[in-house]
């Protein structure tokens, strides 16, 4: 029969042993020291000057005095003397000063264990994480709250050609995506099968123009007084709606709706306007064929629309133009 237990080296009572209580009490002392192990400190190489019975320490490297030769051991003060317990790999201890948790490694010795989730390689909350989805959450909702002020959710990518986006799925098949997908233009894309994707909305990063590739595009233009502004439609034929967004417009708000063909057979129909537009058809507007106080507009065989501002008082006019039934 061995003299000690396998894991904790507790002394075992031997057959026909006298004073069995001594062995039994020694085993209880060891258990009392290592079960729910809490030590006062783990960074001291020598014993304190006035230890109290029951004090426990982890001996730091280069032990001195009564702790000499016991580096890494658990020092226990009882009956006015120090005793030492050698830890086994995997033992953990809570340290009171400074407050931390440590884990014993057979090669590295005692190592600090983070009590937070910093540098956690994977985390699953009611779910299973994996090397790609390193944070996985399965819940009815997820709340990211403020801490007294605002709150930002940041999705960062390494280069412009990478992707940072929010992907919405049905049964893990993509249906909508919004973000920066392969460039720095903000885009909203949709799919009905998870394979074929269509861009519903694109915001051009350099100009902040909003483009709907499947048929809607709105931009802001400024028509300088006594000058011709060139408009390039998204398609050779379609409709355009122009509305004034200029505070110095003489008649306050004004708008017009156009039906146009540009290219080989340019044509232009002004469906509605507030009486401030001269339709020149395919004739380019000039200061002579656009009456004073009006806007002249024409379709061209080079694929453009021309708009000339001859409003009085040298006023520049700001317009919002929305193209319909067109795509670039």
Name which of 236, 312, 242 is nearest 272 in CA terms.
242
pLDDT, one tens digit per residue, over 220-235 is 899 999 999 999 998 8
Residues 324 and 195: their CA atoms lie apart, in Å, by: 27
Confidence (pTM):
0.53
220 and 320 inside one domain: yes
Q: Give burial (CB, 10 Å; 0-12/13-18/19+) of 120.
A: exposed
Provide the number of structural domains found in the chain: 3
Residue-range definition of the domain harbouring residue 279: 216-324
DSSP state of 292: T
Note whether residue 103 is domain-resident: yes
| pLDDT score, position 305 | 96
200 and 223 inside one domain: no
Residues 320 and 209: their CA atoms lie apart, in Å, by: 12
Q: Which residue has the tokens 């919002």?
A: 320
Residues 70 and 44: their CA atoms lie apart, in Å, by: 12
Residues 6+ apart with CB under 8 A from 204: 185, 211
Name which of 237, 229, 189 is nearest 213 in CA terms.
189
Residues 6+ apart with CB under 8 A from 80: 53
314 and 223 inside one domain: yes
Last residue of a domain, one of 77, 96, 113: 113
Top pLDDT among 10 and 319 is at: 319
Element of type H or E holding 174: strand 173-181
Average pLDDT over residues 269-298: 91
The rounded percent of the chain whose pLDDT value lies above 90 is 64
Mean of the per-residue pLDDT values for the chain? Answer: 88
Reply yes or no on whether the pLDDT at 122 is more than 80: yes
């Amino acid at each position: 029969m061995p003299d000690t237990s396998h894991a904790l080296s507790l002394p075992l009572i031997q057959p026909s042993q006298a004073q069995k209580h001594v062995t039994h009490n020694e085993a209880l002392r060891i258990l009392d020291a290592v079960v729910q192990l809490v030590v006062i400190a783990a960074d001291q190489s020598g014993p304190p000057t006035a230890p109290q019975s029951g004090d426990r320490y982890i001996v730091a490297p280069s032990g001195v005095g009564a702790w000499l030769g016991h580096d890494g051991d658990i020092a226990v003060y009882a009956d006015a003397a120090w005793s030492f317990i050698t830890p086994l790999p995997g033992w953990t201890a809570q340290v009171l000063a400074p407050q931390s948790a440590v884990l014993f490694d057979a090669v590295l010795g005692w190592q600090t264990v983070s009590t937070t989730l910093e540098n956690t390689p994977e985390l699953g909350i009611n779910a299973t994480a994996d090397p790609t989805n390193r944070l996985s959450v399965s819940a009815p909702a997820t709340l990211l709250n403020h801490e007294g002020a605002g709150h930002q959710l940041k999705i960062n990518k390494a280069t412009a050609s990478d992707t940072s986006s929010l992907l919405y799925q049905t049964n893990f098949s993509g249906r909508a995506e919004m973000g920066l997908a392969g460039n720095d233009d903000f885009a909203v894309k949709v799919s009905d099968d998870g394979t074929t994707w269509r861009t519903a909305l694109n915001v051009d990063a350099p100009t902040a123009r909003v483009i709907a590739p499947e048929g809607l595009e709105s931009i802001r233009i400024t028509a300088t007084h006594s000058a011709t502004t060139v408009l390039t439609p998204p398609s050779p034929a379609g409709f355009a709606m122009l509305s004034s967004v200029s505070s110095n417009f003489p008649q306050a708000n004004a708008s017009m709706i156009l039906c146009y063909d540009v290219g080989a057979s340019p044509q232009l129909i002004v469906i509605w306007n507030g009486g401030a537009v001269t339709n020149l058809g395919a004739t380019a507007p000039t200061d002579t064929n656009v009456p004073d106080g009006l806007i002249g507009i024409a379709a061209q065989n080079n694929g453009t629309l021309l708009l000339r501002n001859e409003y009085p008082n040298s006023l520049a006019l700001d317009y919002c133009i929305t193209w319909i039934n067109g795509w670039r």
